């Protein structure tokens, strides 16, 4: 059985501060297929601190830089499409064709839609001696539900990146122990 016990924080895979594991069960087989780390308040604090530090620079990226990042994400997503579909299949117990055709495909669609929206979005307008400016707001905390896992991740993370925000993400199945 594989394990996925590290968290991606501050640009690297790190061990949890307080080790505790959770078996992830494939609903179709009712057997564990991987282990993940449970996480702790200290892990959340470390992730939020990293996202705050990253926000200082990332929020200053211009639209072209953010578009280039989203395009890179789109390329990597395509490169790992089959792996993403298999992970979704294992996590949800869904047939791999369903995971590939509906689940993973929607994640790719969200990336494409965000790129199109960012290309056409006006971040600053003037009217009646006033300026209306849309700016990044800070660190976004995101929690995704168990169903439609990649769809929900992409629907939250990609628009935040397009807007210039950093985030922390708690996907389904990752339980924080308090």
Give the domain ranges of the chain. Answer: 2-170
**Which residue(s) pair with 125 in the sheet?**
132
Q: What is the rounded distance in angstroms from the CA atom of residue 65 to the CA atom of residue 113?
A: 17
What's the pLDDT at 172?
67
- Cβ-based neighbours of 83, under 8 Å, separated by 6 or more: none
Smallest CA-to-CA distance from 58 within 163, 158, 130 is with 163
Rounded distance between C-alpha atoms, residue 136 and residue 145, angstroms: 25
Q: What is the pLDDT of residue 69?
A: 98
Of the ranges 143-147, 149-153, 163-167, 169-173, the best mean pLDDT one: 163-167
Distances (CA, A) of 70 to 24, 64, 143, 161, 167: 30, 10, 21, 8, 15
State the CATH class of domain 2-170: alpha beta
Of 113, 111, 109, 84, the residue nearest 99 (C-alpha): 84
Q: How many CB atoms lie within 10 A of CB 85?
A: 23
Most confident of 1-15, 92-106, 127-141: 127-141
On the question of pLDDT at 93 being above 50, the answer is: yes
The size of the chain, in residues, is: 178
Q: What percent of the chain lies above the pLDDT cut of 90?
A: 69
Condensed to tens digits (0 to 9), the pLDDT of residues 123-157 reads 999 999 999 999 999 999 998 876 677 888 899 99
Q: What is the pLDDT of residues 24-66, one digit of tens each?
A: 888 899 999 889 898 899 999 999 999 999 999 999 999 999 9
How confident is the prediction for the chain on average, in pLDDT?
90
State residue 45's pLDDT score: 95
Question: Which of the four pLDDT bands, split at 50, 70 and 90, describes residue 173?
Answer: low
Report helix, strand or coil for 59: coil
Q: What is the pLDDT of residue 1?
A: 66
Residue 177 has pLDDT above 50, yes or no: no
178 pLDDT higher than 50: no
């Amino acid at each position: 059985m594989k394990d996925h016990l590290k968290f991606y924080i501050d640009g690297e895979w790190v061990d949890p501060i307080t080790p505790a594991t959770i078996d992830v069960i494939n609903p179709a087989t009712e057997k564990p297929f991987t282990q993940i780390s449970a996480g702790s308040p200290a892990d959340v604090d470390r992730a939020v601190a990293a996202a705050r530090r990253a926000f200082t620079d990332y929020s200053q990226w211009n639209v072209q830089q953010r578009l280039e990042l989203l395009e890179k994400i789109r390329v990597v997503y395509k490169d790992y499409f089959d792996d993403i579909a298999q992970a979704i299949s294992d996590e949800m117990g869904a047939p791999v064709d369903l995971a590939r055709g509906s689940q993973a495909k929607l994640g790719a669609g969200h990336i494409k839609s965000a790129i199109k929206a960012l290309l056409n979005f006006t971040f600053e307008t003037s009217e009646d001696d006033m300026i209306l400016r849309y700016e990044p707001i800070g660190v976004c905390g995101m929690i995704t539900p168990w169903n439609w896992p990649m769809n929900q991740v992409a629907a939250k993370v990609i628009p935040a990146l397009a807007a210039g925000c950093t985030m922390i993400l708690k996907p389904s199945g990752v339980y924080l122990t308090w």
